[in-house]
Amino acid sequence: MSLAGKTAIVTGAASGIGLATARRLAEAGASVAIWDLNEQAARAAVTELTGAGRRAMAVRADVSKRTEVDAAVRLVRDTFGPIGILVNNAGMSAFNPFMEITEELWDRVMTVNLKSMLICTQAVLPDMLQKGWGRIINVSSSSAQSGAARMVHYAASKGGVIGFTKALAQELAPTGITVNNVPPGFVDTPMLRAELKDRVDQIAAASPMKRPGRPEDMAAAIAFLASEEAGYITGHTLSVNGGRYSS
């Protein structure tokens, strides 16, 4: 699989699933923009990738703010050329009993996890339409497929990502642009460790494969959906969860 000559943006790419995805796309030859709120970690990732002979740049951008996203897209386009691949990965998790979810928290979760998809996708779409080629991969969550207690806000936002994916895939199907989503389930990242702390190993032991997902497991699926070979797949939900949930 080669992505040589492609420009890719990976949001939330300074950590976890996004970082593994940035590494994978860069290994396949793409020029990768590592977008994150954490500029220092994004720069460290770029140092690693460019040190290995890959093409990468760091961009500090909040995916929920249109002015920042539009400026970041211009910077990437000016540096690497028109954007062909967008991985909408940045997100926030939230755990609260239903009756304790405030409207402010609800709005924040929806803005970061769902509205960001609108903003980032609208910002790159003109490049893809002009070329008649594009790959949009959205990171959703298995919580939207299975349900998850204390995650009504989070699961609702990620369910929105799945609906967003299907609807946009239909709309863009004649254009050469595919839109798919990957719902991770229980992946060993800083986000998961922050939430579950010392319970990760215990929960993993009770799972079908007896291990948590690795960021690289997600990256492999995302990279496939970004490839030329996946060009007849659109609107799809590619579950990567070690058998924790089948649909």
Ligand X SMILES: NC(=O)c1ccc[n+]([C@@H]2O[C@H](COP(=O)([O-])OP(=O)(O)OC[C@H]3O[C@@H](n4cnc5c(N)ncnc54)[C@H](O)[C@@H]3O)[C@@H](O)[C@H]2O)c1
Q: Which residues are catalytic?
A: 154
Report, in Å, the least distance between residue 131 CB and ligand X.
25
Burial class (CB in 10 A: 0-12, 13-18, 19+), 197: exposed
Nearer Cβ to ligand X (70/176): 70
User: At its nearest, how many Å lie between ligand X and the CB of residue 142?
Assistant: 6
Residue 82, Cβ neighbours under 10 Å: how many?
Answer: 17
Q: Which residues pair with 240 in a beta bridge?
A: 184
Which parts of this chain interact with ligand X (CB under 6 A)? 11-12, 14-18, 35-38, 62-64, 89-93, 112, 139, 141, 184, 186-187, 189-192
* Whole-number Å distance between alpha carbons of 162 and 90: 15
- Please give the structure tokens belonging to residue 79: 């540096």
Q: Which is nearer to ligand X, 76 or 139 (CB)?
A: 139
199, two tokens: 């319970």
Task: Select from 247, 234, 242, 237 the least CA-distant residue to 172.
Answer: 234
Q: Which two tokens stand for residue 186?
A: 């229980």
- How far apart CA 63 and CA 121 sit, in angstroms, is 10
* Identity of the residue, 104 or 232, whose beta carbon is nearer to ligand X in the bound complex: 104
Q: Are 242 and 216 in contact (CB under 8 A)?
A: no
Helices (H), 173-232: 190-196, 200-205, 215-226
Return the number of the residue (3 or 72) whose C-beta is nearest ligand X. Answer: 72
Minimum distance, C-beta of residue 199 to ligand X, in the bound complex (Å):
13
In the complex with ligand X, which residue's Cβ is closer, 59 or 125? Answer: 59
CB of residue 61 to ligand X, shortest distance in Å: 6
The three-state secondary structure class of 55 is strand
Tell the smallest beta-carbon distance from residue 99 to ligand X (Å).
23
CB atoms within 10 A of CB 40: 10
